[in-house]
Amino acid sequence: MYNNHFEIFELPVSFDLNKDTLAQRYRDLQRAVHPDKYANAPDRERRLAMQKTVQINEAFQTLKNPLTRAAYLLQLQGIDENDGIMDGEFLMTQMDLREELAEIKQNRQAIDAFLNRIEKQMQSLTDTLSQQFAQENWQAALNSVRQFQFFTRLHEEALRLEEELI
């Protein structure tokens, strides 16, 4: 059994990952434990293969996404991203952005510009998280993860709105 998702893929416990290496190791592991290879094996071996497949899939889904990877790294430190109080200034920013999104509902160009700004903010948070985890600044990383969660939800809402206009 593995201690964490990083061990499954033989990767260092780090926010910064080589996505190509992660994807290649995922494919290699999937080929090695795919349940079809165990179709004629005893029940116990089939169950173990299925359990390993589920574990590999869960680990891959967690590590491939910067937000879920960051939350997982905090979890490994015993930090729950839902604990604590959100920064008051960022709460005001959230309200402003939600109002802005509500106001641009019928303007396709404005939604595109809004999405672009949100995507830049998400990339900036990814870069910030990289630095915070490298410095083991857990509290700052926790705040950044919360902000990243907000921007991810806001991005999804803006994409839905954009789809409605098509």
Q: What pLDDT is recorded for position 48?
A: 86
Query: What CATH class is the domain 5-64?
Result: mainly alpha
Cβ-based neighbour number of residue 96 at 10 Å: 10
For 8-49, what is each residue's pLDDT tens digit? Answer: 999 999 999 999 999 999 999 998 887 777 777 788 888 888
For 97-118, what is each residue's pLDDT tens digit? Answer: 999 998 987 788 899 999 999 9
Q: What pLDDT is recorded for position 1?
A: 67
For the entire predicted model, the pTM comes to 0.88
Terminal C-alpha separation, the chain: 48
Q: Given a cut of 80, is residue 152 above it in pLDDT?
A: yes
Q: What pLDDT is recorded for position 87?
A: 80
CB-based contact 70:133 (threshold 8 Å): yes
For 84-93, what is each residue's pLDDT tens digit? Answer: 777 889 999 9
In sequence order, which ranges of the chain are alpha helices (DSSP H)? Answer: 5-8, 19-33, 43-64, 66-76, 88-103, 108-134, 138-165
Mean residue pLDDT across the chain: 92
**Domain definitions of the chain by residue range:** 5-64, 88-165
Residue found by looking up tokens 């999937």 in the block: 30
3.30.360.10, 3.30.470.20, 3.40.50.300, 1.20.1280.20: CATH of 88-165:
1.20.1280.20
